[in-house]
Each structure stands twice: as C-alpha cells, then as structure tokens.
Amino acid sequence: MQMILIFLFSLPVLLAHNYNLDQSATTTISALISVSLLIYCVSALLINLKRGSIRNILGLATLSALAIYFYAQFLSYYLQGSYFNQQFFFHSNFTTLIETWSVYYPLIILFLGWTTCICLVFLYFRNRVSGSEYSNELLVLLLVSALVLDPGIRDAVKVKTSLMTSPSIESLEQIDWEQLGLDRNALENFDIATGVGKNLVLVFLEGLETVYMEESIFPGLTPNLNALNAQGWQLNNLNQIEGTGWTMGGIVATLCGTPLVYESSLGGNSIMFTRFLDKATCLPDILRQADYQQVFMGGASLEFAGKGDFLNLHSFDQVLGKAELRRELPDSSYLGGWGLFDDSLFALALQQYQRMAAAEKPFNLTLLTVDTHHPGGEPSSSCSPYAEIDNSILHAVHCTDYLIGNFIEQLKQHPAYEDTVVVMVSDHLALRNNAFSLFPKGYERRLYFNVLNSDQLASSQVLATPMDLAPTILEMLDITHDASFLVGIDLLNAEGQHSERNMDDPRRENIIRYLNSNHLSTAENEVHYSLNRANWGEIDFVNNIENVEFTQNGVKFNVDGHDPYFILPELPNFQQKDFRLYITIDVEQASAMALYYLTDEDKAYSESNKLTRETETGSNQLVFSLNRRAGQGRLRIDPGSNPGQYFIRSLEIRS
C-alpha cells in the first residue's frame, strides 16, 4: 500500500517542480524524499491503529487533507511557477472557483479522480497489510524529518520567522519615512485641491510584458505596439515588486501608489470588501475631485478577485465587467473562458469613448484586456494567428497587438483625441504560460509602459515601479493637485527623489503592509452605522415591501415590483466626512438598487440626489460613495424593481 500511495502522491510533486521557474535538481530531489517519507510514515501510523470505523475515517480524512495540500502546491507551481504566496491565497476562495470553472474545470476533475484513487487504495489495502516494524516514536521522528525536507514548507517557515522577528510598529514616529522612501502625507489626503487636465484612456494589458516586443526573439509579433512605441514615451526600467504580480495587485499599485500587501489576518480575496485601502487616495479619486467622468471596462467578471468592489470604492461612475458588457454584444454567446474577447471589449470601448467625448467634460476611460491571460491565452476570432510560431499565447499577444493598434487609430480620428492622453501598461509580468520556454534564459523581464499624446518627457531609464505610475500619469495629464501617494513618486520630477530606492527591503515592505492595513483602511471604530449590530427594527419599510423576516444573519423581505423602498434611521451629517455605504444583498432577479439622499438645498428624495448600482442574480456586494454630497437626514434605499425575495446580509456606513 505504501509504495502505491507514495507513487500517487509523487505525481503532483514531480509536476509541480517541472513548472517551477527556479528549477533545481536538489530542490526536486528534496521534495521527492520528503513526500516519500511523509506518505510512508502516515500510512504506517494509520495501519498501526486498531481496525474499525475510527481508523477508516481518520485515514480518509488524513489522506484527503494531504491530497489537497499537494494538489494545491501543484496548482500554485502550474499557475504561477512558485510555491504558495500572498498572490495564491488572494485567489483561493469559492468566488475564484466559480469564475474560473470554464477555464480550469479539467484540473478540478483531475483532482477529484486522483483523490478518489488514493482513497480507494487505502480502503482496499487497510486490512490486507501488516503493521509497521518500526515503533510509532520512530515514525513520528521520520515524519518531522519529512516536513523539514519539504522545500516549500522550509521557505515558508523562513519567511514567517522573518516577519515574526521584525520589530513591531507601535507608532508612526518609529518610521524613518525619508530613508524608506515613503510619504507620510498620503495618510492625510483629506481635502484635495485639483485642477482640470486632459482626458485619459488607460489600458491595462493582461500579462503583456516587454519581452514580446523584442524583434530578435519574436519577430513580427507586435508590429502595432512597436510602431506606437516609436510615437510615444516608454519606461524601460519598470520593475514588478512584491504585491504587484497579479491583476488586482497591478491595478491597485498603478492607481493607488501602494502595493497590494496586507497583514495576513485580513484574509485574501475578501479583503477587497473589508474596507481594505478604502482610505487610500487613488488616481480616480483625484480625477473625481476634478469633475471627471470615469468608466472602467473589462471583459472578465467584476466578482473575480474583488475587482468590482475595489473600483466602485474609488470613484468610478460606472464599473462594467462581463455581466454588464455582455448585454451590449451583438451575439451574447461570443465569450471566452474569462469573459468578453478583446475585439468585443475594444469595439464597446470605442463607443464609450465617443459618448464620453460628446459630454464635453473631462473623462477617464480605463480598460483591462483578457485575451492574453495565462496559461494558454484565448485570441479573438477576428484575428489572424502569429505566422512565425504556432503557440496559443503568442497568437493571443499578436491578436491583442492588432486590436489595440486598430483601437488607437480610431481614437486618433476623433476630435477629442487632441486632448486625450493614452497610457498602455502591463497589469503584471506574464505568469507561467506555454510560451515561457521561448523566453531567453537570463532575459531581464520588465513591465510595459507607453504614453501617447503627452508633451511631458523624462529619462526612460529611470528606476520605476507600478506605484510610481499614478503620480506620473497625473503630471502627464497636466492636472494640478496636492494629493500624496505612500510609495509612488512622479517620475517626471524624480531627480533626487529616492533614485536608489531599495524596493526589496523587507523592513520597508513590512511597514507598507502595516500602513496599508491600519492607516489606509477603515478601522472598526470608523464604522458609524451597522445594521448587523443595531436593531433591524430601526428600518422603516415604507412601500411595497412585505413578509419582512428578521434573522440572526440579516433581514429577508419580498418585493412586489411597484416602487419598493425603505428608509434608514437618522444618521450623522454626511457633509462632515467622506462616508460610504456598504451593503451585501442577495436577489432572485437582476435589477438595480438606488440610494436617495437629502441635501441642505433639496429636502426631497429627487432624481438629482440619487446613486444607482446594478445587481445580479445571487449575492451582491455594493458600495455607494456619498463623498460629502448628503446633508443631515435619512437615507432611502430602493432595493430593486423586480419582484421576488431580497436578503440583506449586512449594511454599514463607514468613513
């Protein structure tokens, strides 16, 4: 039995280290010895137990737990080329499973089949083999040795030990802000003064880095981006650092000037709806102060990785993802595994650009592509394949290059382009994909960044990170402002500003982690109203809401579809602070939720004092930013016009 189990458990370990970006024969051998010892000792200890249901249950539970660990380890290496890290745990949740099912379901089926084989082997042999000749004490000692030999566990312990031995931060006065290249003023961006500048089109290119543009490596792969490079200004030394190596990490760092690092107690994907970085002043927050229209469009689901929650929190007027944009497609079935194809996204984005330009207000149109998503990419059907090499990721890169080139050419035909700055940037370096074997060994990988239609220039070789992009983009838009960013600096005026910043200083990273979690995110005492803790009876269900049922987990009620609404209790004057309302609600039919507020000038619940958020069937997490709009008074909430049952799980007002 032991030999069969060792063989089965060795399979994901071998595969994992095959995908390891830091391949080492020593590491692989150490991992195989570790798993062999571990499985031998565990199975021997199980066999030594008294026969019966307790041994059966314990054996199946133990082997299933080990199966989850080793398969998760394999997935981590398969998806990102490394052992468990913050990036992996950020995406380890049920939402990720649902949103990526269509792409990764073969891996899930493989896991279920493999785990079933392990359990069947145990059940077949458990009573057919004799007990171990070694004592339980010796087996336990060998078990500990197995854990020590596991390269992943060994490295994780080193990191954890480093974090635990780092000096604790008890006061902001302990921080050497200048030496660490951090700006304390970022914690106090209360009343931001801004001036209007140019329009912005910001395009995040999924995993599209500079190596793809090297003609000596991939000839003719990105002719359009290379041509645009000749017309614009690039950063040639834009580095990815901890907390910026996945899509949400890249977006947060680029928009907010701080990496997506946080204290481990805050959780993973869920942190994007637990007030994390809600007090950070980000690029769209500054543009809102300058009265910009702002729309985000991305082909993937907004639920994935908390993207929709975060962007709604930071001043976008509309945040449009797969569910919202799919309705605008001529053929709503034309979708890839991750959502809309890039040809659909750019076609809709062009229409959005034209609408925003017609409004004669400054605007920010932010896009996120998806065709080049690892590990295989999914090129749009309207594209021709890359002729030089038959590789799906390269086909997708070639396709996105064609589509963005065509998109920008169409922008140039519009009169508003003269006053529009276009920024193209990698959301992160490519994660492990099927083109990695074609990357030259030793090639210094860099993020892509190119700006069109800006007169502002600086040295393209300046040391840069994604955190520097928000202040730099604001300068390129000719926007005057007095906001500060925790980590990012304006690269156009970077002379003498920490030009030799130590990006990998663990002390610096730990302090940023602390500041992000404790000073740029809302603390419990900044929750001014919570219907989870207060008496649900304080809500006045005024119109067409029936069968109200108060439960421990929230409140359920039915709506008949005729202008239903309820009114919250009297709350503080919202003009004193920047307040936001957070609500988690389950609905049976997609609809739209509206929030009405009163002002000192208008004491009625009018359309001019209204904020709306779309809801989808199932659970929704919505954020309404009052931002000093409302005066003293009660908020009215219209949960939705479609009939059915609604369930409010939580409702909070935070500053």
> 646: part of which helix (H) or strand (E)?
strand 644-654
For 527-654, CATH number? 2.60.120.260
Residue 396 has pLDDT above 50, yes or no: yes
pLDDT in tens, 445-495: 999 999 999 987 766 778 899 999 999 999 999 999 999 999 999 999 876
pLDDT band at 112 (very low <50, low <70, confident <90, very high): very high
In the chain, domain spans: 2-165, 199-521, 527-654
| pLDDT (average), residues 128-132 | 77
Residue 206 has pLDDT above 70, yes or no: yes
Question: Which residues lie below 8 Å from residue 154, measured CB to CB, with a gap of 6+?
Answer: 148
Question: Which residues lie below 8 Å from residue 64, measured CB to CB, with a gap of 6+?
Answer: 115, 118, 119
Cα 411 to Cα 422: distance, rounded to the nearest angstrom: 10
278 near 313, Cβ under 8 Å?
Answer: yes
pLDDT in tens, 150-183: 988 888 887 777 766 667 787 888 898 988 889 9
pLDDT computed for residue 122 by the predictor: 92
The CATH class that applies to domain 199-521 reads alpha beta
Cα 83 to Cα 77: distance, rounded to the nearest angstrom: 6
Cα 14 to Cα 20: distance, rounded to the nearest angstrom: 10
Q: Which residue has the higher pLDDT, 155 or 409?
A: 409
* Among 7, 6, 27, residue whose Cα is nearest residue 16: 27
pLDDT computed for residue 212 by the predictor: 98
**For the sheet containing 610-615, what is the strand order?**
540-543, 565-567, 636-638, 591-596, 610-615
Residue 553 has pLDDT above 80, yes or no: no
339 near 369, Cβ under 8 Å?
Answer: no
| pLDDT (average), residues 535-539 | 75
The two domains 199-521 and 527-654 share their CATH topology (first three levels equal) = no
Residue 527 has pLDDT above 80, yes or no: no
* Highest mean pLDDT of the ranges 196-210, 266-280, 480-494: 196-210
* Token pair for 498: 């920490």
Q: Which residue has the higher pLDDT, 455 or 424?
A: 424
pLDDT computed for residue 269 by the predictor: 47
Cα 568 to Cα 539: distance, rounded to the nearest angstrom: 5
Question: Whole-model pTM?
Answer: 0.79
626 near 532, Cβ under 8 Å?
Answer: no
Cα 217 to Cα 442: distance, rounded to the nearest angstrom: 13
**Average predicted confidence (pLDDT) for the chain:** 88
pLDDT in tens, 240-260: 999 999 999 999 999 999 999
Q: For tokens 């599209």, name the residue.
A: 208
Cα 653 to Cα 531: distance, rounded to the nearest angstrom: 9
pLDDT computed for residue 634 by the predictor: 86
